[in-house]
Amino acid sequence: MAGSLTTPPPKRYLTAAFYLFVDLPDCAQFKTPLQALCDAEQVKGLILLAPEGINSTIAGPAKGVQTVLGWLRAQAQFALLQHKESWSSKAPFRRMRVRIKKEIVTMGVPGLRPASQAGRYVSAQDWNALIADPDVLLVDTRNDYEVELGSFEGAINPGIRSFAQLPAWLVLQGLFDPAKPRKVAMFCTGGIRCEKSTALLRSQGMQEVYHLEGGILKYLETVAPEVSRWQGECFVFDERVSVAHGVQTGSHQLCRCCRQPLPPGALDSIQYEPGVSCPRCFGLTSETQKKSARERQRQWERAKAKAASQESTDGESTDNNHATKTGHV
């Protein structure tokens, strides 16, 4: 008997991720039309609007997502908008939200204008030459749990738990002192945090400030492993958890409680319980919160088992139908 044939589910949902720093004092005017357009096109996700620009990830039918992107680029403020695409067989989001915020990425420094103050872009192809310069101070602008998974050779880890802590660290390093001019190169996952960080340095009078265009993800996508100066893997804020060279899914797992990667040895720790806690967050939740998390985990596991059973039943039906039609019974 010939082996059964299984047709993988079609990847029907297009995901688009994008951001743009642009002076947008009237950002609120876009909220209602964007929400209405996304609803009409069955597009879901989150769009953040702020006086400094737009930051978003949306998903839905390809035509709908492209319609939303086209509408945005037809507005003069978003004409330079670029996006990154990926596909999935399941809808990544359940609802659509358009929100007005003070910042599209929270740093907490008023008056900053990344659209005009950001440092100089350096392409992935030119990045190695820049950071090989011994006079360049290389700064990783990401959170400590991200840096733990990997970083560029020789990069400084500020040891911050949130992006809003970075300005204070920069002050402590004396980088705002005009009497001590430095060349500074900054990087982050996709570009948005280092773009804002370099804007902060330039607002304080620094001139030689650089950042990696497209972030670590663009570097891993385009730079060959044999010449790469990246060490380890890169944490990403989706179900892949981490990626390696070629933007291939990495080896790390996620704690479903704190939404951070599991630290080394976590799976062998008595503080690790799937969906409830890991050594990183065990002491941050009460026993009441842990009980609630256990119940959510049980519900999730039941739902997952039910879905797997249904897929198996559907798959057998599809295989039998295929076999009947082709004579492979």
- Residues assigned a catalytic role: 188
The residue among 250, 282, 249 whose CA lies nearest residue 266 is 282
Q: How far is CA 77 from CA 24, 27, 54, in A?
A: 7, 10, 10
Strands 13-21 and 53-60: antiparallel
8-state DSSP, 157: -
**Where would I find the beta strands (DSSP E) of 206-246?**
209-212, 230-232, 234-235, 242-243
DSSP of 14-76: EEEEEEEE---TTGGGGHHHHHHHHHHTT-EEEEEEETTEEEEEEEE-HHHHHHHHHHHHTSG
8-state DSSP, 220: H
Which residue carries 């705002």 as its tokens?
Answer: 176
- Are the C-beta atoms of residues 156 and 235 closer than 8 Å to each other? no
Which residue carries 């609803």 as its tokens?
Answer: 39
- Are the C-beta atoms of residues 56 and 46 closer than 8 Å to each other? yes
CA 167/CA 164 separation, integer angstroms: 7
- Are the C-beta atoms of residues 183 and 208 closer than 8 Å to each other? yes
Amino acid at 212: L
**Collapsed DSSP state (helix, strand, coil) of residue 130:** helix
The separation between CA 198 and the C-alpha centre of its own chain, rounded to angstroms, equals 19
